[in-house]
Amino acid sequence: MMQPTLEYTKRLDKEDSLSKFREEFYLRQGTIYMDGNSLGLLSKRAERALLESVEDWKEHGIDGWTKGKHPWFDLSERLADLLAPLVGAATEEVIVTGSTTVNLHQLVATFYQPQGKRTKILADELTFPSDIYALQSQLRIHEYDPDQYLIRVKSRDGRIIEEEDIIEAMTDEVALIILPTVQYRSGQILDMKRLTAEAHKRGILIGFDGCHSVGAIPHSFSEWDVDFAYWCNYKYLNGGPGSVGGLYVNRKHFGTNPGLAGWFGSRKDKQFDLEHTFTPAETAGAYQIGTPHVLSMAPLLGSLEIFVEAGIENIRKKSLEINQYFMDLIEVELTGLGFEIGNPRTDARRGGHVCLEHPEAARICKSLKENGIIPDFRAPNVIRLAPIALYTSYEDVWNVVQILKKIMLEKQYEKFANGREIVA
């Protein structure tokens, strides 16, 4: 039975099978990092892989394409081999390339093919703004007014999107659906399997933004028959700021010409023929565009090793348990202080972070930082707190709640303005 005591948290930490991975990461003394859902911490293995790649450059120069510890020419494919199990796909269906929004542009340019009355794109009103910007611009390229042709499913409560409402919006005017796997504010997991099946019943292609789920929850993209997906690798996967992103394309779409072609999408044996006739790869590699950013991919070599060892199912198990304990503590310790938990409570519907709502959220976040806690603020009233399975302890979570209680009882937050900083 849950106990809100420090002794109980210490016992949970001793029983934690993933606790050994904590020493793999650079944890700053005197702080508790709760923002790994925005930027994961550096691991020693990621640092080692980066330095090895720098050494390859130093030692081999241009020959680093084919020589050294981590040759560059097929680095994206080798990383895909490590990444594919985390998204439930075959290696050839995954590639490490681009960034989240660039990959979305590529995939929409490829798979948005309006015909007849099927001209609209379906999204939701709670999704991350960059996705909306990309969809609007893709519609403009086709000379469609985004105000008319981009449908955004409404939220009933401002926190979550009901699958029934998405399905109801799947009309015969919809050509393409783009949805998040996990809502970035509330942490709601959408039922990807169900939504994919419903879209396909209606002849609609569907893709998912996995930025807030890959590395935190298991996926089965191939089994669910998802058409495509894309994500960043710097949040739960700890690939570093600006880490190269990832994308998935269902093998049934292999051979579909990329909407945005570039030389790194070439078949490997043809790439350096440098012909003016594009010969695309016969895998997800076809959807690469330009030369890979090697030094922004290298840390993933080390980071993904840890995920192979830890296992995504074990990571999800701890994530659910530590977040449940976090929420239980919040309800016990912070009652009457104006907080409300905004994320879904059932395991099947919640992702890797706790969405804590408060009217003074921006001020509270600033006060948390002053007290050595690194949170994340999302306007107007959300404090996102993410216990990361690989490096957050139960004692960390207990301490965060005690500090939150102290901040509120002492009204420490009142000295700060209730507005976000430049980077929220």
- Which residue(s) pair with 7 in the sheet? none
Q: How far apart are CA 410 and CA 121, in angstroms?
A: 49
**35 marked as binding residue:** no
Contact indicator for 287, 249 with CB cutoff of 8 Å: yes
**291 marked as binding residue:** yes
**129 marked as binding residue:** yes
Residue 45 contacts by C-beta under 8 Å, 6 or more apart in sequence?
24, 302, 303, 305, 306
Question: Prior bond to 218 cis, omega within 30?
Answer: no
**128 marked as binding residue:** yes
Q: How far apart are CA 174 and CA 151, in angstroms?
A: 9
Short-list 222, 278, 287, 279, CA closest to 260:
287
Q: How far apart are CA 360 and CA 366, in angstroms?
A: 10
Residue owning tokens 């393409």: 176
Short-list 37, 25, 20, 31, CA closest to 400:
31
Q: How far apart are CA 365 and CA 423, in angstroms?
A: 12
Residue 74 contacts by C-beta under 8 Å, 6 or more apart in sequence?
268
**100 marked as binding residue:** yes
Beta strands in 138-216 (DSSP E): 150-153, 174-180, 205-209
DSSP code, position 213: T
Helix boundaries (H) for 2-118 = 6-15, 44-60, 75-87, 100-111
**184 marked as binding residue:** no
Short-list 424, 354, 392, 382, CA closest to 33:
392
Short-list 304, 188, 198, CA closest to 246:
304
The letter for the amino acid at 226 is V
Contact indicator for 122, 166 with CB cutoff of 8 Å: yes
**413 marked as binding residue:** no
**38 marked as binding residue:** no
Q: Residue 358 in 3-state DSSP?
A: coil
- Which residue(s) pair with 419 in the sheet? none
For every residue of 23-56, DSSP letters joined together read GGB-PPTT-EE-BTTTSPPPBHHHHHHHHHHHHH
**398 marked as binding residue:** no
- Going by the annotation, the residues of the binding site for pyridoxal 5'-phosphate are 100-101, 128-131, 209, 212, 234, 263, 291
- Going by the annotation, the residues of the binding site are 100-101, 128-131, 209, 212, 234, 263, 291
